[in-house]
Amino acid sequence: MRIAIVDASASRAEVIREGLAALADCQIFVVSERKGLVARIGEIAPDIVLMDLGNPSRDVLEEYFAVSRVLARPIAMFVDESDDEAIAASVDAGVSAYVVDGLAPHRIRPLLDLAVRRFNAFARLQADLAEAQGKLAERECIDKAKRILMDSRGLGEPQAYAELRKTAMNQNKRIAEIAEAVVTAHQLMGGMG
């Protein structure tokens, strides 16, 4: 597992490194420079990112939240103190674990596990949502194609669907693909889609 530790303070980064000492097969990279952070983390290509920001200002937090939006990796962020607004912003930015006043070696490993679990759960939800949205879009396209066939060829709804199905089977394609072709052709012919 490749772990990136983002921390301007070498002593705090050492606390995190100590907490990870028990992990076998672990490559640890410490990034202490804020400039070019996304690019540097991109080079490291870590499996998880641990950020320790100590007592960050609003601007610094915003900057790191922007980084976490880009990364699409599990991120655990440690701060010394926080408020509800910052916590809410971290959740919006996709930070998997936002830990206030919790930087101690024995807490690092469980927090790492938590961040990975939360990240995976969130990724699954996003995938499920994308799939559901895709199916909904397909359904709408099929309905549109059926309406086009019903209007242009005077078919009833079941016959229009049967036409789409038969064509899909003949061409070894999915019904949604055939529907999309019907809708596109209709739009090209100047029909209302």
Same-domain status, 6 and 87? yes
Residue 72 region, left (φ>0) first, then alpha (ψ -120 to 50), else beta?
left
Same-domain status, 88 and 146? no
Q: How many domains does the chain fold into?
A: 2
Domain that residue 69 falls in: 2-103
Same-domain status, 54 and 9? yes
> What confidence score (pLDDT) does residue 173 get?
94
- When pLDDT is cut at 50, 70 and 90, the band that residue 135 belongs to is very high
Question: pLDDT tens digit string along 140-187?
Answer: 999 999 999 999 999 999 999 999 999 999 999 999 999 999 999 999
Identify the CA nearest to 19 among candidates 70, 69, 78, 68.
Answer: 78
Give a yes or no: residue 183 inside a domain.
yes
Same-domain status, 9 and 95? yes
Question: pLDDT tens digit string along 104-117?
Answer: 777 777 778 888 88
> What confidence score (pLDDT) does residue 99 get?
77
Mean pLDDT of the chain, nearest integer: 83
Same-domain status, 150 and 80? no
Same-domain status, 157 and 98? no
Give a yes or no: residue 109 inside a domain.
no
Same-domain status, 25 and 84? yes
Has residue 82 got a pLDDT over 80? no
Same-domain status, 92 and 7? yes
Report yes or no: 163 and 155 within 8 Å, Cβ to Cβ: yes
User: What share of the chain has pLDDT > 70, as a percent?
Assistant: 98
> What confidence score (pLDDT) does residue 193 get?
47
Q: What whole-number distance in Å separates Cα of residue 46 and Cα of residue 102?
A: 22
Question: pLDDT tens digit string along 45-72?
Answer: 888 888 877 777 777 777 777 777 777 7
Identify the CA nearest to 7 among candidates 39, 51, 41, 44.
Answer: 51
> What confidence score (pLDDT) does residue 15 get?
79
- Nearest-5° Cα angle at 72, 33 to 107: 70
> What confidence score (pLDDT) does residue 180 get?
94
Q: What whole-number distance in Å separates Cα of residue 33 and Cα of residue 55?
A: 16
Has residue 22 got a pLDDT over 80? no
Same-domain status, 138 and 91? no
Give a yes or no: residue 69 inside a domain.
yes
How far is the CA of 81 from the CAs of 22, 53, 57, 99, 171, in angstroms?
27, 10, 11, 9, 62
CATH value at residue 91: 3.40.50.2300
Q: What whole-number distance in Å separates Cα of residue 1 and Cα of residue 25?
A: 6
Report yes or no: 53 and 27 within 8 Å, Cβ to Cβ: no
Has residue 100 got a pLDDT over 80? no
Give a yes or no: residue 108 inside a domain.
no
> What confidence score (pLDDT) does residue 190 get?
79
